Structure 1
């Protein structure tokens, strides 16, 4: 049997971290088994579903590299198929019309609670033989005894007594199918064989299995992954920071770091922490999915991201960085110049945003370079300016501005002047960067180039 998995988000908001992890697990299961991974947009909530949210979900999936097979299925376009299934259940006596109002059903539940029984619909319309009418819904004629059981791929054996479950509604009074009915029909007609989803769906699964059986459809295998918690061990939410996957993109996280981190958040393969996409596909099985809630650790994500930045080619980073400079209000850097700067920050940046913030002085127009006032007062003294002025004259006449040439020139000045490198380094660094922090001085000057270096020195000398 060829495995078919799916991811079925509702476009009522962004692609959140928990949903993205579920998508990653479903994608990995399909790819590991050589099967298919399908995408369905569950957009039947007409009031809350938006095209913008759908676009955000698709953008998030594409950013993570979770390519799906075949066309996207939009649930809202399949209402006719859903209602056809309801009509068949009615014709076969496996469903019935119910005229009980929501208030009446709530009163039944309150009575049951007061009597110590399970609060649920009492089935009073079950054998009345009602037909369609205003305000009426269609309910599944669920078994009254026995149990509904399945082997959860993550949680193990789960069994629910049928008497614990309602005759659930299949069609609302406005004629629209309910979530549980639509999901069963769609998964069956899409050929889905394995459903991995969040544990918040555990209570839906026995109900959906009853619908599968009533329709005579093969029941897929189900697995429910534990939720993701914040550092305070409470369900991950906006109060813990970003929960949208695409927010992490804007924060400068690389997609391979996000996929690696989320895959490892609730799944393991020995003690290994860093996985290429190919390794994840090769090693992933549901057997190693954890049964306990996982805690989102931003520090670990940043550690992984720093690793992937370090391992990326300068060319790739030069492709990714320009929008981050523009987001800081700067012009997109000229590519060849950016390629000179990238290697100096690649080993130390945790995010692309941090990369841009730390390297911004390289791309600030010379006349707009801001000077740290305390640094300028401390290091650009009259005596220090004399050293800077002398070095300017040496740099002006160098045969080239390669790192080795600049480094040799600075060393020669230190030797000839009798000044220590410490005495000349910080004044020169402040002059060309505006602060006391930068990569190695000769590397900084070489990357800036002769023209920028001299222009900035002149400006600093005039302070």
Structure 2
């Protein structure tokens, strides 16, 4: 586990306005970095080009600036590890995915969408869990060369270990063990040359010297893939902390824009930061509220400054 100086990051995807759950994740990263005299980074993860919204980057920055969570490095202020936008770092990801292939830790996959759908239907009929059947993991060099010569553009998949287990030392949940046999050979590089989140964030966290990865608990099932990927590169893993997500007041699912939560009087609860900006809320009120969810001072007190929250 890392002994690096504290460096945290908030890495949203520019697909729309900032959700208050995202702001809460950013807040805990910011508080942790400030508490330990470290740096807080803003990184834009825009590798999903199908969902990319060109207006969302400025919207995200506006929401973060309004909230008072200033960052030390980022796309607008620069820094020693620039650029801080993933679409501007494609050559780096392609270099390291090729390193994985060259070291027998990843492989090109030429399977068509139709074949993948057929495999999953057949698995469903056999009452087996869905997922890739590792067909291309067994291809010979000659078969790979033939596919390449035919003009088939592959994705690149990670060679997940087929036995053993990986243990995640989580700062919130303690040690969590996962059996490798139940994991998938995940796609690391898509056919369009863009990396998936799995590859890009590991490469960036390494080269940006991130010490602590604090993110929503919904990413915990992906943690064994990420830990194995860190190990495959031979890089020191960061500390992980998987945070609880914001739930609807009735406890049924997390807060979402698609299914707006309501209070006990039937009023819709805003879930986007810009809703609070528009309605005249003070940023201190929102960050105070978010800091109180899932954590407290342990006393009859609900209002405190960010300086006080840092000390706790």
Whether the aligned pair in 1 keeps the contact of 2:168 and 2:223 (CA below 8 Å) is: no
Inter-CA distance 237–116: structure 2 relative to 1 (3 Å threshold): closer
Q: Equivalences for 1:238-249 in 2 at 5 Å?
A: 238=257, 239-240=260-261, 241-249=269-277
- Provide the residue aligned with 1:149 in structure 2: 167
**Structure 1 CA distance for aligned equivalents of residues 59 and 117 of structure 2:** 38
Q: Comparing both chains, which one has the higher relative contact order based on Cα–Cα distances under 8 Å and sequence gaps of 6 or more?
A: 2
Which piece of structure 1 moves more, 60-69 or 204-213?
Answer: 204-213
**Cα displacement string for residues 67-101 of structure 1 (whole angstroms, at most 9, x for unaligned residues):** 11123311110011011111111111111112222
Inter-CA distance 110–156: structure 2 relative to 1 (3 Å threshold): farther
- Give 3-state SS (helix, strand or coil) of 1:42's partner: coil
- Provide the residue aligned with 2:118 in structure 1: 107
**Structure 1 CA distance for aligned equivalents of residues 47 and 227 of structure 2:** 21
Unaligned runs of 5+ in 1: 284-463
Whether the aligned pair in 2 keeps the contact of 1:134 and 1:173 (CA below 8 Å) is: no
Unaligned runs of 5+ in 2: 76-83, 262-268
**Structure 2 CA distance for aligned equivalents of residues 249 and 86 of structure 1:** 41
Q: Equivalences for 1:196-235 in 2 at 5 Å?
A: 196-234=214-252, 235=254
**Structure 2 CA distance for aligned equivalents of residues 112 and 191 of structure 1:** 41
Which piece of structure 1 moves more, 229-238 or 30-39?
Answer: 229-238
- Give 3-state SS (helix, strand or coil) of 1:206's partner: helix
Whether the aligned pair in 1 keeps the contact of 2:48 and 2:196 (CA below 8 Å) is: no
**Cα displacement string for residues 193-213 of structure 1 (whole angstroms, at most 9, x for unaligned residues):** 111111221122211112111
Query: How many aligned positions are there?
Result: 283
Match of 1:259 among 287, 308, 312: 287
Q: Equivalences for 1:304-343 in 2 at 5 Å?
A: none
Match of 1:81 among 88, 92, 107: 92
**Structure 1 CA distance for aligned equivalents of residues 123 and 48 of structure 2:** 31
- 1:29 equivalent in alignment to 2:32: yes
Following superposition, the deviation at residue 116 of structure 1 comes to: 4.1
Which structure carries more helix by proportion? 1
Taking structure 1 as the reference length, the TM-score comes to 0.59
- Provide the residue aligned with 1:158 in structure 2: 176
**Structure 1 CA distance for aligned equivalents of residues 291 and 118 of structure 2:** 45
**Structure 2 CA distance for aligned equivalents of residues 109 and 156 of structure 1:** 34
- Give 3-state SS (helix, strand or coil) of 1:160's partner: strand
- Provide the residue aligned with 1:347 in structure 2: none
Larger radius of gyration: 1
- Provide the residue aligned with 1:282 in structure 2: 311
**Structure 1 CA distance for aligned equivalents of residues 297 and 126 of structure 2:** 50
- 1:20 equivalent in alignment to 2:20: no
Structure 1 outlier segments of 4+, above 4 Å: none
